[in-house]
Amino acid sequence: MRLTGALPNFVVFAALIAVAVIADLTGNPYIVTLATKVAIFGLAGVGLNLALGYGGLVSFGHAAFFGLGGYVTAILASHAASATPVATFPFTMMGTNEMLAIWPFAILVAGFAALVIGALSLRTKGVYFIMVTLAFAQMLYYFAISWPTYGGEDGLSFYVRNTFPGANTFAPLQFFGICATMLAITMVLVALLTQSRFGLALRAAKENETRVIASGIKPFAIRLTAFVLSGMVAGLAGALFADLNRFVSPTMLSWHMSGEIIIFVILGGVGRLAGPIAGAAVFITLEYLLGPISDHWQALLGFLLILIVLFAPKGLMGLALGKRGNA
């Protein structure tokens, strides 16, 4: 990683930490909650960016992975609370409320779904890819609404935030710390990945497919790998989001959610490591500040977004950095 490239990402991340810590010290736990939300949506965005920003794969269905991660968390936690097994076949599996035990499951389930959806969707390109990923997410959404076992449209509450060794997850700042740490680890891994041979091949496949094929690399395999990794990160973010709210519902799987994650990525700057964090931060701050002004705050938000697209075509980080940073 070049220092000049890494610095803006570091600044964005540090600013997020600073906001959370200052809010906690000044007795504003709700601001800490909002910062946590930024970290979680930022994480989902970092995941999506891997497919969208670096791989050029515009997925309109990442809510599927986000929601699956959330549902895995809620299902394991609610079974742990009621002391009933999650499954009895092929082996008895009990629930758990340990985050460290839940996360691998959430990531694996999301990754497996991404493998299946990606393998089928990657046959298509461009707008068709956008829509076919949406289709798969919508199938899961309608399934979740009408499947009664885990609450259907009412969603599933588990009331108690899951536990993490050595931390009180109820304390807003400590839970924020957990989310921010996962975000930091993921950002480092993504940075390493995009600088690796794999990352170069992924970007090359986006820029010039023919040349990549000529050099003996299979773009399909590269893209599928990126898509699966991207889904896994979204799954982890979903798991954290479930814990933030102690609740999951089909809205986590809806196309609005997919759209929101895409918007965080575009708003911050496509293909920039910390872009989604900046995007989520700006979006959530606007929501928070405009809400009390008027019942019609969403119109104001819309106007601001239009101005940003028209006058900051490379996203907020692009606007802030001018022509310099392009990491």
Partner 1 sequence: MTLKGKLIAGLATLALTAGMAHAEGVKVGMITTLSGGGAGLGIDVRDGFQLALKMAGTSDVELIVEDDQQKPDIAVQIADKMIQSDQVDVLTGIIWSNLAMAVVPAAVAQGKFYLSPNAGPSALAGAGCDKNYFNVAWQNDNLHEAAGAYANSAGYANSFMLAPNYPAGTDAIAGYKRFYEGAAAGEVYTQLGQTDYAAEIAQIRNSGADSVFFFLPGGMGIAFMKQYAESGVDIPLVGPAFSFDQNILQAVGDAALGVRNTSQWNKDIDNPANAAFVEAYQAEYGRLPSLYSSQGYDTANLLLSAMAKADLKDADAFRAALEAADFASVRGDFAFGPNHHPIQDIYVREVVKEGDVYTNKIIGTALEDRGDAYAAECKM
Partner 2 sequence: MLLLAEQVLNGLQYGMMLFLMAAGLTLVFGVMGLINLAHGSLYMVGAFACAAVAAATGSFWLGLAASLAAAAALGALVEIVVIRRLYARDHLDQVLATFALILVFSEGTRWLFGSFPLYLSLPPVLSGAVTLPGGLIYPAFRLAIIVIGVLVALGLFWLITRTRLGIRIRAGEADREMIAALGVDIAKLYTMVFALGAALAGLSGALVGSVQSVQVGMGEPVLILAFVTVVIGGIGSIKGALIGALLVGMTDTLGKALLPGLFARFMEASAATSVGSALASMLIYVLMALVLIWRPTGLYGARA
Site string for partner 2, 134-173 (x = CB under 8 A): xxx-xx--xx-xxxx-------------------------
291 binds, among partner 1, partner 2, none (CB under 5 to 8 A by kind): partner 1
252 contributes a contact to partner 1 by CB under 8 A: yes
Instruction: Give the footprint of partner 1 on residues 218-247 (CB under 8 A).
Output: 241, 245-247
Judged by beta carbon, residue 195 or residue 251, the one nearer partner 1 is 251
126 contributes a contact to partner 2 by CB under 8 A: yes
Site string for partner 2, 24-63 (x = CB under 8 A): ----------------------------x-----x-----
The two tokens of residue 313 are 């075509």
Q: Residue 32 forms beta bridges with which residues? A: none
298 contributes a contact to partner 1 by CB under 8 A: yes
168 binds, among partner 1, partner 2, none (CB under 5 to 8 A by kind): partner 1
Of residues 111, 30, 98, the one with CA closest to residue 69:
111
221 contributes a contact to partner 2 by CB under 8 A: no
- The C-alpha atoms of residue 8 and residue 135 are separated, in whole angstroms, by 36
Helix, strand, coil percentages for the chain (3-state, nearest 5): 75, 5, 20
Judged by beta carbon, residue 200 or residue 263, the one nearer partner 2 is 263
Q: What is the DSSP string of 17-66?
A: HHHHHHHHHTT-HHHHHHHHHHHHHHHHHHHHHIIIIIT----S-HHHHH
Burial 23-57 (b: 16+ CB within 10 A, else e): bbeeebeebbbbbbbbbbbbbbbbbbbbbbbbbbb
33 binds, among partner 2, partner 1, none (CB under 5 to 8 A by kind): partner 1
Which are the contacts of 179, defined by CB distance < 8 A and separation ≥ 6?
36, 39, 40, 43, 240, 244
Note the residues at the interface with partner 2 (CB under 8 A): 52, 58, 120-121, 123-128, 130-132, 134-136, 138-139, 142-143, 145-148, 255, 259, 262-263, 266-267, 270, 296-299, 301-306, 308-310, 313
